Structure 1
């Protein structure tokens, strides 16, 4: 029934496999998952919605004008999924539950080399002349709908007036600029802007940050470890995509990539933590208004690259200097980069390789891996264009 409903309405399927909400053993009002004809259970939330609506005997699909609340927010950080989905990243054993599933690969890269052996493609991305000056002005703990916690860092800079973000998974990744003492501030001031260690609680009076004169400042408790690649954090450089992340667009896989990056970074087996650098450069740098014009051009027959060019924009106008500077502020100078875009590897490293990308972890669409996700003619054309015209390293034979 579920598959039939999706075909009839044309709605995109979920970004990620649904998960049941967390309940304690003492919960007595938990709504059980309801099996459908294709053996895919719907979530207890959806079952409750149908029950409240009075559909006690037959599950009725929502009207075509409604989208499932499972889209908002994406309930994936830390979700337990088969270990095969992250085996190449965390070293967990590969599950044989899905014979069609090929786990994501982590490929060593070295941008100091030239040619195919570098693993960075043949293009020479545009590099910034200097890294911008960035400052983290506030940090806050974000509990997620799955129980995982992350820390949201808000940054200012000296090249634009936008609020760029770093979403940090793990307790050991800290911002130098946030932790630095500021003249005249009180302990309460420090806690309010997020410059504290441990957890906040009612009645707390000190930040727990040691003074510069102390031997080992708490700010030095960073995840800047040397050694095996298991000590290197996962990093995703993600450019804002309102349509794909908020409006459930099936024209791109941006929402799915953000969702999957958060899930991988929040897994308990990922001991090194992770960082999503969220840059406010909508539409590959052209802005939301021009991006919507490009969508109309795509409906008139252009692909995503041709549409940008017809609007007199570059195919990709993004810059990654801010990402490099933010990673340096978080003291992450060796990373594993979640991307299919070879241009990002060298661009994120900075003009003088201030940050080193040790591995590139591919981001294969979930539907290509037999792990849910969604399909549409628009996203298939979008991915095809990124591979053929933008050089993205995404093996279409994995489909």
Structure 2
């Protein structure tokens, strides 16, 4: 195979995203634009939630949030996802400019069914990492290629990334995104998620300035 053929195969294998439509969504934090994306990598529809003039802007506040039905929708106390999503939207609203990407990567990429099975294993005493491994998955199977492409499509020049996960920073930088700064997203542990958060800090190297667990 010659170099031109190799280059052709590389270009053809690169995933693409398509912004299908955007619409105004009024929220308790203010008015956002919600953009619906399709892509050539998976069969999921990923979303961009943004506020302000982000095109060609630098140091844009960005949260790449992975879908969590139990936390985001049902208010589950087993994780910190719903609280992180709400706080991220509030941070963007306070800044006046920013993006929340909502990536359909339930359960750190293992899907809702196996996430619920992992919860059952956690109730038997295994932590979140071991539960995933026991189900035949990696500890974290998320991919941020599409997130990087969506930020490029939105013409975001550089980001202030709202995350406690160093792997997310590395993945976005590998996808070509200029991460100018990490912005901490502090959490308040409760009795149901304290062990989960501790595992993320100890076994997944998350930067988590954990506060004492509350009974609420």
TM above 0.5, yes or no, is yes
The match for 1:167 among 36, 49, 55 is 49
| Aligned-pair CA distance for 1:277 | 0.8
List 4+ stretches of structure 1 deviating above 4 A.
none
| Aligned-pair CA distance for 1:169 | 1.1
> Conserved in 2, the CA contact under 8 Å of 1:243 and 1:249?
yes
Q: Distance in 2 between matches of 1:131 and 1:252?
A: 33
Q: Distance in 2 between matches of 1:387 and 1:316?
A: 14
The equivalent residue for 1:51 is: none
> Conserved in 2, the CA contact under 8 Å of 1:131 and 1:322?
no
| Aligned-pair CA distance for 1:355 | 1.1
**Within 5 A, what are the aligned runs for 1:221-232?**
222=55, 224-225=56-57, 232=59
> Conserved in 2, the CA contact under 8 Å of 1:131 and 1:324?
no
| Aligned-pair CA distance for 1:233 | 1.0
| Aligned-pair CA distance for 1:308 | 0.4
The equivalent residue for 1:132 is: 15
| Aligned-pair CA distance for 1:381 | 0.4
Q: 1:131 to 1:335 in 2, by over 3 A?
A: farther
Kindly indicate which of the two structures has a greater share of residues assigned to helix.
Answer: 2
Q: Distance in 2 between matches of 1:152 and 1:340?
A: 24
The equivalent residue for 1:349 is: 173
Segments of structure 2 that go 5 or more residues without pairing to the other structure are 1-12
1:291 aligns with 2:115: yes
The equivalent residue for 2:67 is: 240
Q: Deviations over 1:168-194 (max 9, x none)?
A: 111x23xxxxxxxxxxxxxxxxxxxxx
| Aligned-pair CA distance for 1:131 | 5.1
Q: Distance in 1 between matches of 2:201 and 2:98?
A: 26
Q: Distance in 2 between matches of 1:143 and 1:378?
A: 32
The match for 1:151 among 17, 20, 33 is 33
> Conserved in 2, the CA contact under 8 Å of 1:131 and 1:325?
no
The equivalent residue for 2:185 is: 363
> Conserved in 1, the CA contact under 8 Å of 2:59 and 2:157?
no
The match for 1:316 among 140, 164, 167 is 140
SS of the equivalent of 2:193 reads: helix
Count of paired positions: 200
Q: Distance in 2 between matches of 1:388 and 1:278?
A: 26
| Aligned-pair CA distance for 1:395 | 3.0
> Conserved in 2, the CA contact under 8 Å of 1:281 and 1:318?
yes
